[in-house]
Amino acid sequence: ELSAQLLDLPVYKQACEAERNSVSGRPVSTRRDMTPTATTALVLALTLAHHASLAAAAGPRVIIVGAGMSGISAGKRLSEAGITDLVILEATDHLGGRMRKHNFGGVSVEIGANWVEGVNGGKMNPIWPLVNSTLKLRNFRSDFDGLAENVYKETGGVYDRAYVQKRLDRANEVEEGGAKLSAKLRPSGQDDMSILAMQRLNNHLPNGPASPVDMILDYFKHDYEFAEPPRVTSLQNVVPLATFRDFGDDVYFVADKRGYEAVVHHLAGQYLEADKARNIVDPRLQLNKVVREISYSGSGVTVRTEDDKVYKADYVMVSTSVGVLQSDLIQFKPRLPAWKVLSIYQFDMAVYTKIFVKFPRKFWPEGKGREFFLYASSRRGYYGVWQELEAPYPDANVLLVTVTDEESRRIEQQSDNQTKAEIVEVLRSMFSGEDVPDATDILVPRWWSDRFYRGTFSNWPIGVNRYEYDQLRAPVGRVYFTGEHTSEHYNGYVHGAYLSGIDSADILIKCAHKRMCKYHIPGKFD
């Protein structure tokens, strides 16, 4: 656009005309009084100026730390605003971060994000058209309707459907009461409370070995979504959840050979150079670069990587998880101010572990209404939520069981063989009448132990108000922050990461282009 404007400038047109005339041998207009040499010099000078101004049009140099959804989305937004002098430093050898496929027993499974969450509602989830229309990734609507028929006892067999349905209705009723209470908290100036406290106020006590059905339903409704128990999770900021309120209640399970990460590759390909096979080959994306230090001052930033490379820029955009920010992987110089450290440490990085297990044959029911089943253990969250994967992976005989929080940490620290043995034992008690074979293969992702993630997604705990949350996104001098944990409304999700990249880039663009660098956080009572 800028080059078009430049070509349109009267002085440039004149010079071009003079040059054309001199080449064609026609006498140069005396009015302009230009010799061919002078003309050529002017054209050269203008051409150089043209290139210089194009370089200037590229704007400031920005380093993006991390090539997950938010970092790639931020880079795209910056490029669209003319800020193309970018370097993206990614610690691992691939794009996508917590969107990650893995070959397991011949099928491509997702060890990170799996669902497009929030579909078929009033607003469009921005990830949905990319998945379903642009890339046409194979996906399946998850059907939780049959859940009441599929709650297994510790001693084998399922609970009576009508009984489970009654308990489920009660849990839903309490949640609706919770949403009403949540709406009243802020206007009445009352403090936040945990989901657990709200349940207690509603005379609902789903915890404890005496009520395993209530406990697993509670786990399914809360821990399975937020990866932390209701004791921890904020009522005010999580009930109702903006993702489902805005985008709809449906969730679609992505199961495609290209992986859910194809969305990140697609966005990257819109501004980074790719080869014919659509691999990003742009030198601005640098893989295997672990950032270990970020120094910042009023005049710029210096970023150091573990291989002792030094990068200088005008701004840096940090897109690593809040779990990474809570670790000492990246040293900030000077240290981040107290308000920033507090906002980082008061938020939670939760752990959600998707364990895939393969069997020589099926022994579980399948078909409509059978996709999800629960294990009502007297130990909360002990291999509680199961999914049979016949539709996405026909004949693969793979089950997915999800654990969270303390169970995730425990399981990450033990051998896969131990986990496999525990899982087979649980299945043998659930399907006590069946001949349950040993599992042939197991996949246990370890996001919590991984120093580039330190967990799976953020969860909003009690004790963090909106003002403190917004401080997570706020820049510190020339250091900008993005990532799902900085998303205005949708922390914890792929769409949150995507939108946060756009929002954080916009904050940087405002500063770089308009010199409006003061970032205003609405006050506690605004």
Ligand X SMILES: Cc1cc2nc3c(=O)[nH]c(=O)nc-3n(C[C@H](O)[C@H](O)[C@H](O)COP(=O)(O)OP(=O)(O)OC[C@H]3O[C@@H](n4cnc5c(N)ncnc54)[C@H](O)[C@@H]3O)c2cc1C
Q: How far is the CB of 303 from ligand X (least distance, A)?
A: 9
131 has binding-site annotation: no
Residue 319 Cβ vs ligand X, minimum distance, rounded to whole Å: 5
The answer to whether 290 contacts ligand X (rule: CB under 6 A) is yes
Q: In 3-state terms, the chain is what percent helix, strand and coil (to 5)?
A: 40, 20, 45
70 is in an annotated binding site: yes
CA–CA dist 313, 477 (Å, integer):
13
Using CB under 6 A, pick the residue from 182, 234, 456, 471 that binds ligand X.
Answer: 456
* All residues at 6 or more sequence positions from 307 whose CB lies less than 8 Å from its CB, including other chains: 288, 289, 290
Q: How far is the CB of 334 from ligand X (least distance, A)?
A: 18
Closest approach, Cβ 492 to ligand X, in A, equals 6
Q: Does 98 bind ligand X (CB under 6 A)?
A: yes
Q: In angstroms, rounded to a whole number, what is the distance separating the alpha carbons of residues 261 and 265?
A: 7
In the complex, least distance from residue 354 CB atom to ligand X, rounded to whole angstroms: 5
Active site residue 117: yes
Site string for ligand X, 466-495 (x = CB under 6 A): -----------------xx-------xxx-
Q: Does 321 bind ligand X (CB under 6 A)?
A: yes
Q: Is 182 annotated as contributing to ligand binding?
A: no
Query: How many Cβ atoms from other residues are within 10 Å of residue 117's Cβ?
Result: 26
CA 329 to CA 433: how far, in whole Å?
Answer: 50
Residue 190 vs 288, nearer CB to ligand X:
288
CA 84 to CA 242: how far, in whole Å? 33
Backbone angles phi, psi at 465, to 5 degrees: -90, 175
**One character per residue 323-352, x = contact with ligand X (rule: CB under 6 A):** -x----xx---------------------x
Question: Residues 107 to 146: which contact ligand X by CB under 6 A?
Answer: 112-115, 117
- ∠ CA 396-145-159, nearest 5°, is 85
Judge whether 330 and 292 are in contact, CB under 8 Å.
Answer: yes
234 near 461, Cβ under 8 Å?
Answer: yes
Helix (H) or strand (E) holding 252: strand 250-254
Q: Which amino acid is at 100?
A: R
* Residues forming beta bridges with residue 443, ordered by sequence position: 356
Residue closer to ligand X (CB basis): 212 or 496: 496
CB of 381 to ligand X, least distance (A): 15
220, 252, 447, 469: residue in contact with ligand X (rule CB under 6 A): 447
Residues 6+ apart with CB under 8 A from 440: 105, 358, 359, 360
Q: Spot the catalytic one: 117, 228, 407, 484.
A: 117
- Check if the beta carbon of residue 16 is closer than 8 Å to that of residue 10: no
- What Rg value do the Cα atoms of the chain yield, rounded? 28
211 is in an annotated binding site: no
Among the listed ranges 52-60, 69-77, 175-183, 339-347, the one in contact with ligand X (CB under 6 A) is: 69-77
371 binds ligand X (CB under 6 A): no
Give the β-pairing of 372-375 and 385-388. Answer: antiparallel
Number of residues that bind ligand X (CB under 6 A): 41
- Residues annotated within the binding site for FAD are 70, 90-91, 291
- Residues annotated within the binding site are 70, 90-91, 291
Could you list the active site residues?
A: 117
* Site residues, ligand X (CB under 6 A): 65-71, 89-92, 97-99, 112-115, 117, 290-291, 319-321, 324, 329-330, 352, 354, 447, 452-453, 456-457, 483-484, 492-494, 496-497
